[in-house]
Amino acid sequence: MAKPFTPKRRAFLKAIGAGLPASAGAVALVSDGVVSAQPKRAGGDAASGRDVSQFFNSRERITVDAVVARLIPNDELGPGAKEAGVTDFLDRQLAGPWGSGDNFYRQGPFRQGTPEQGYQLPLTPAEVFRTGLAKLDEASARQHGGKGFAQLSPSEQDALLTALQKGQLDMGALPGAVFFQMMLDGTMEGFFSDPMYGGNRDMVGWKLLGFPGIYASYSNDIERHNVAYVRPPMSIAKARASGHGQHGAMHGAPAAPAAGARR
Protein backbone atom coordinates (compact mmCIF):
# COMPACT_ATOMS: atom_id res chain seq x y z
CA MET A 1 0.00 0.00 0.00
CA ALA A 2 1.32 3.41 -0.93
CA LYS A 3 2.13 5.76 1.92
CA PRO A 4 -0.13 8.83 2.13
CA PHE A 5 1.21 11.81 0.22
CA THR A 6 2.75 14.43 2.50
CA PRO A 7 4.25 17.57 0.91
CA LYS A 8 7.05 18.08 3.41
CA ARG A 9 10.55 18.68 2.16
CA ARG A 10 12.33 16.74 4.91
CA ALA A 11 10.05 13.73 4.38
CA PHE A 12 10.67 14.04 0.66
CA LEU A 13 14.46 14.02 1.04
CA LYS A 14 14.23 11.10 3.46
CA ALA A 15 12.25 9.19 0.85
CA ILE A 16 14.98 9.81 -1.72
CA GLY A 17 17.56 8.30 0.60
CA ALA A 18 15.42 5.25 1.33
CA GLY A 19 14.42 4.69 -2.28
CA LEU A 20 10.85 5.28 -3.39
CA PRO A 21 8.83 2.13 -4.08
CA ALA A 22 7.28 1.55 -7.47
CA SER A 23 3.57 2.25 -7.63
CA ALA A 24 1.22 -0.64 -7.11
CA GLY A 25 -2.19 -0.85 -8.68
CA ALA A 26 -4.04 -2.61 -11.44
CA VAL A 27 -2.66 -2.06 -14.92
CA ALA A 28 -5.36 -2.49 -17.55
CA LEU A 29 -5.15 -2.38 -21.32
CA VAL A 30 -5.66 1.33 -21.94
CA SER A 31 -7.47 2.42 -25.05
CA ASP A 32 -10.57 4.47 -24.27
CA GLY A 33 -10.31 7.92 -22.75
CA VAL A 34 -6.72 8.56 -23.83
CA VAL A 35 -6.06 12.14 -24.88
CA SER A 36 -3.89 12.90 -27.90
CA ALA A 37 -0.29 13.61 -26.95
CA GLN A 38 0.58 15.95 -29.80
CA PRO A 39 2.74 18.85 -28.56
CA LYS A 40 0.87 22.09 -27.88
CA ARG A 41 2.65 25.43 -28.20
CA ALA A 42 2.10 28.08 -25.56
CA GLY A 43 3.70 31.45 -24.96
CA GLY A 44 6.73 31.69 -22.71
CA ASP A 45 8.07 34.46 -20.53
CA ALA A 46 11.62 35.30 -21.52
CA ALA A 47 11.97 37.83 -18.72
CA SER A 48 11.33 35.16 -16.08
CA GLY A 49 13.61 32.62 -17.71
CA ARG A 50 10.73 30.25 -18.47
CA ASP A 51 10.79 28.21 -21.65
CA VAL A 52 8.30 28.56 -24.45
CA SER A 53 6.26 25.38 -24.05
CA GLN A 54 7.16 22.54 -26.36
CA PHE A 55 4.51 20.12 -25.04
CA PHE A 56 2.15 21.59 -22.43
CA ASN A 57 -0.70 23.85 -23.43
CA SER A 58 -1.42 26.85 -21.22
CA ARG A 59 -3.95 25.06 -19.00
CA GLU A 60 -1.73 22.02 -18.55
CA ARG A 61 1.19 24.23 -17.57
CA ILE A 62 -0.89 25.90 -14.87
CA THR A 63 -1.95 22.50 -13.51
CA VAL A 64 1.59 21.11 -13.58
CA ASP A 65 2.89 24.20 -11.77
CA ALA A 66 0.31 23.57 -9.05
CA VAL A 67 1.11 19.85 -8.78
CA VAL A 68 4.88 20.20 -8.52
CA ALA A 69 4.44 23.03 -6.01
CA ARG A 70 2.77 20.51 -3.69
CA LEU A 71 5.23 17.68 -4.36
CA ILE A 72 8.22 19.87 -3.41
CA PRO A 73 6.84 23.00 -1.72
CA ASN A 74 8.54 26.33 -1.28
CA ASP A 75 9.35 26.40 2.44
CA GLU A 76 11.85 27.55 5.05
CA LEU A 77 14.58 25.43 3.44
CA GLY A 78 14.37 27.19 0.10
CA PRO A 79 12.54 27.37 -3.23
CA GLY A 80 10.28 24.53 -4.30
CA ALA A 81 9.85 22.65 -7.56
CA LYS A 82 7.78 25.36 -9.22
CA GLU A 83 10.41 28.02 -8.52
CA ALA A 84 13.15 25.63 -9.67
CA GLY A 85 11.61 25.34 -13.14
CA VAL A 86 10.53 21.70 -12.88
CA THR A 87 7.59 22.39 -15.21
CA ASP A 88 10.05 23.43 -17.91
CA PHE A 89 12.07 20.26 -17.30
CA LEU A 90 8.97 18.08 -17.68
CA ASP A 91 7.88 20.02 -20.76
CA ARG A 92 11.19 19.35 -22.51
CA GLN A 93 11.23 15.69 -21.55
CA LEU A 94 7.68 15.07 -22.73
CA ALA A 95 8.37 16.80 -26.05
CA GLY A 96 11.43 14.61 -26.64
CA PRO A 97 12.27 10.91 -27.13
CA TRP A 98 11.29 9.93 -23.58
CA GLY A 99 7.87 11.51 -23.94
CA SER A 100 7.18 9.65 -27.17
CA GLY A 101 8.44 6.37 -25.73
CA ASP A 102 11.15 5.95 -28.36
CA ASN A 103 13.07 3.47 -26.20
CA PHE A 104 10.03 1.69 -24.76
CA TYR A 105 8.98 -1.80 -25.80
CA ARG A 106 5.36 -1.24 -26.81
CA GLN A 107 4.38 -4.32 -28.81
CA GLY A 108 2.46 -6.07 -26.02
CA PRO A 109 1.05 -8.11 -24.50
CA PHE A 110 -0.05 -5.49 -21.98
CA ARG A 111 -0.92 -7.24 -18.76
CA GLN A 112 -0.87 -6.44 -15.08
CA GLY A 113 2.63 -7.00 -13.74
CA THR A 114 4.43 -6.77 -10.45
CA PRO A 115 6.13 -3.56 -9.26
CA GLU A 116 9.49 -5.25 -9.93
CA GLN A 117 8.57 -5.64 -13.61
CA GLY A 118 8.23 -1.90 -14.07
CA TYR A 119 6.03 0.01 -16.45
CA GLN A 120 3.47 -2.15 -18.28
CA LEU A 121 1.13 0.28 -20.05
CA PRO A 122 0.88 0.73 -23.84
CA LEU A 123 0.83 4.52 -23.36
CA THR A 124 3.79 6.78 -23.93
CA PRO A 125 4.72 9.13 -21.06
CA ALA A 126 3.32 12.00 -23.14
CA GLU A 127 -0.04 10.21 -23.37
CA VAL A 128 0.02 9.44 -19.64
CA PHE A 129 0.61 13.10 -18.75
CA ARG A 130 -1.87 14.54 -21.26
CA THR A 131 -4.59 12.13 -20.16
CA GLY A 132 -3.73 12.29 -16.46
CA LEU A 133 -3.70 16.08 -16.26
CA ALA A 134 -7.08 16.30 -17.98
CA LYS A 135 -8.57 13.67 -15.67
CA LEU A 136 -7.10 15.36 -12.59
CA ASP A 137 -8.76 18.65 -13.51
CA GLU A 138 -12.03 16.82 -14.22
CA ALA A 139 -11.92 15.15 -10.80
CA SER A 140 -11.20 18.50 -9.18
CA ALA A 141 -14.15 20.11 -10.96
CA ARG A 142 -16.50 17.30 -9.90
CA GLN A 143 -15.54 17.55 -6.26
CA HIS A 144 -15.09 21.31 -5.93
CA GLY A 145 -17.83 23.06 -7.84
CA GLY A 146 -16.13 23.34 -11.20
CA LYS A 147 -12.73 24.49 -9.91
CA GLY A 148 -9.60 23.24 -11.63
CA PHE A 149 -6.78 21.73 -9.57
CA ALA A 150 -4.75 24.94 -9.60
CA GLN A 151 -7.70 26.88 -8.12
CA LEU A 152 -7.92 24.71 -4.99
CA SER A 153 -6.44 25.46 -1.59
CA PRO A 154 -3.21 23.61 -0.69
CA SER A 155 -5.09 21.25 1.63
CA GLU A 156 -7.64 20.45 -1.08
CA GLN A 157 -4.84 19.82 -3.56
CA ASP A 158 -3.09 17.51 -1.11
CA ALA A 159 -6.30 15.52 -0.59
CA LEU A 160 -6.70 15.02 -4.34
CA LEU A 161 -3.06 14.00 -4.77
CA THR A 162 -3.38 11.50 -1.92
CA ALA A 163 -6.46 10.00 -3.56
CA LEU A 164 -4.61 9.89 -6.88
CA GLN A 165 -1.63 8.14 -5.29
CA LYS A 166 -3.94 5.53 -3.75
CA GLY A 167 -5.79 4.93 -7.03
CA GLN A 168 -9.02 6.37 -5.64
CA LEU A 169 -9.71 8.98 -8.35
CA ASP A 170 -11.70 8.15 -11.46
CA MET A 171 -9.05 8.42 -14.15
CA GLY A 172 -10.82 6.26 -16.72
CA ALA A 173 -8.58 3.50 -18.02
CA LEU A 174 -5.41 5.20 -16.73
CA PRO A 175 -4.26 3.87 -13.32
CA GLY A 176 -4.00 6.93 -11.09
CA ALA A 177 -1.13 5.52 -9.03
CA VAL A 178 0.98 5.12 -12.17
CA PHE A 179 0.35 8.72 -13.19
CA PHE A 180 1.14 9.98 -9.67
CA GLN A 181 4.43 8.08 -9.55
CA MET A 182 5.44 9.31 -13.00
CA MET A 183 4.80 12.90 -11.90
CA LEU A 184 6.69 12.40 -8.63
CA ASP A 185 9.67 10.77 -10.37
CA GLY A 186 9.79 13.54 -12.97
CA THR A 187 9.58 16.22 -10.29
CA MET A 188 12.50 14.74 -8.38
CA GLU A 189 14.56 14.39 -11.56
CA GLY A 190 13.83 17.97 -12.59
CA PHE A 191 14.64 19.36 -9.14
CA PHE A 192 18.03 17.64 -8.91
CA SER A 193 19.21 17.37 -12.54
CA ASP A 194 21.72 19.68 -14.17
CA PRO A 195 20.10 23.06 -15.00
CA MET A 196 20.84 22.54 -18.70
CA TYR A 197 17.75 20.30 -18.81
CA GLY A 198 15.42 23.09 -17.70
CA GLY A 199 14.96 22.39 -13.98
CA ASN A 200 17.08 22.98 -10.87
CA ARG A 201 17.07 26.70 -11.67
CA ASP A 202 19.90 28.51 -9.89
CA MET A 203 20.97 25.03 -8.74
CA VAL A 204 18.55 25.21 -5.81
CA GLY A 205 18.34 21.42 -5.56
CA TRP A 206 22.11 21.03 -5.40
CA LYS A 207 22.46 23.82 -2.86
CA LEU A 208 19.85 22.14 -0.67
CA LEU A 209 21.84 18.90 -0.62
CA GLY A 210 25.31 20.44 -0.67
CA PHE A 211 26.05 18.72 -3.99
CA PRO A 212 28.99 20.33 -5.84
CA GLY A 213 27.80 19.67 -9.38
CA ILE A 214 30.54 19.09 -11.92
CA TYR A 215 33.12 19.44 -9.15
CA ALA A 216 32.18 15.88 -8.23
CA SER A 217 34.39 14.84 -11.13
CA TYR A 218 38.04 15.78 -10.67
CA SER A 219 41.41 14.19 -11.24
CA ASN A 220 44.21 16.49 -10.13
CA ASP A 221 43.09 16.52 -6.48
CA ILE A 222 42.16 12.85 -6.13
CA GLU A 223 44.88 12.10 -3.56
CA ARG A 224 44.16 15.13 -1.39
CA HIS A 225 42.07 14.50 1.70
CA ASN A 226 40.28 16.57 4.35
CA VAL A 227 40.18 19.68 2.16
CA ALA A 228 37.27 21.97 2.96
CA TYR A 229 34.84 22.45 0.09
CA VAL A 230 34.50 26.20 -0.37
CA ARG A 231 33.00 26.75 -3.80
CA PRO A 232 29.39 27.08 -4.96
CA PRO A 233 28.04 24.30 -7.20
CA MET A 234 28.91 24.38 -10.89
CA SER A 235 26.62 23.36 -13.74
CA ILE A 236 27.71 21.77 -17.02
CA ALA A 237 26.94 24.95 -18.98
CA LYS A 238 28.95 27.12 -16.59
CA ALA A 239 31.86 24.71 -16.73
CA ARG A 240 31.85 24.74 -20.52
CA ALA A 241 31.67 28.53 -20.66
CA SER A 242 34.63 28.93 -18.32
CA GLY A 243 36.72 26.15 -19.84
CA HIS A 244 36.59 24.42 -16.47
CA GLY A 245 37.54 20.77 -16.42
CA GLN A 246 39.61 20.74 -19.62
CA HIS A 247 42.72 19.90 -17.63
CA GLY A 248 41.09 18.37 -14.55
CA ALA A 249 38.59 20.09 -12.32
CA MET A 250 39.67 22.13 -9.32
CA HIS A 251 38.17 20.97 -6.04
CA GLY A 252 38.37 24.15 -4.03
CA ALA A 253 41.17 25.64 -1.99
CA PRO A 254 43.99 25.58 -1.06
CA ALA A 255 46.05 24.93 -4.17
CA ALA A 256 47.75 21.58 -4.60
CA PRO A 257 51.24 21.46 -3.04
CA ALA A 258 54.24 21.78 -5.33
CA ALA A 259 56.07 18.67 -6.48
CA GLY A 260 58.29 17.29 -3.75
CA ALA A 261 56.59 19.32 -1.03
CA ARG A 262 55.74 17.60 2.22
CA ARG A 263 52.07 16.56 2.51
Per-residue confidence band for 107, with pLDDT thresholds at 50, 70 and 90: confident
Mean pLDDT taken over the chain: 80
pLDDT in tens, 2-37: 555 555 655 555 555 444 433 333 333 333 455 555
Domain-wise residue ranges, the chain: 53-107+120-205
Residues 6+ apart with CB under 8 A from 179: 128, 129, 131, 132, 135, 136, 164, 171
The confidence score (pLDDT) of residue 37 equals: 59
24 or 260: which carries more pLDDT confidence? 260
- Count of beta carbons in the 10 Å neighbourhood of residue 153: 10
Least confidently predicted of 12-16, 44-48, 173-177, 204-208 = 44-48
CA pair distance 63, 248, nearest whole angstrom: 43
CB distance 71 to 189 below 8 Å: no
* Distance, CA of 125 to CA of 149 (rounded, Å): 21
Q: How many CA atoms lie within 13 A of 126 on its CB side?
A: 22
Task: Name the more confident of 151 and 108.
Answer: 151
Integer Cα distance of 246 and 232 in angstroms: 19
- 54-75 pLDDT per residue, tens: 999 999 999 999 999 999 999 9
Say which residues have a Cβ less than 8 Å from residue 174's Cβ, sequence separation at least 6: 30, 33, 34, 121, 123, 128, 131, 132, 135
Specify the pLDDT at position 68: 98
Phi, psi (deg, nearest 5) at residue 53: -60, 135
With a cut of 70, say whether residue 41 has pLDDT above it: no
Q: Per-residue confidence at 226, pLDDT binned at 50, 70, 90?
A: confident
How far, in Å, are 21, 133, 143, 237, 257 from residue 245 at the CA level?
Answer: 36, 42, 54, 12, 19
Residues 116-122 have a mean pLDDT of 82
| CA separation for the pair 224, 240 (Å, rounded) | 25
> Binning pLDDT at 50, 70 and 90, where does residue 88 land?
very high
**What are the tens digits of pLDDT across the range 129-163?**
999 999 999 999 999 999 999 999 999 999 999 99
Mean pLDDT of 177-201: 96
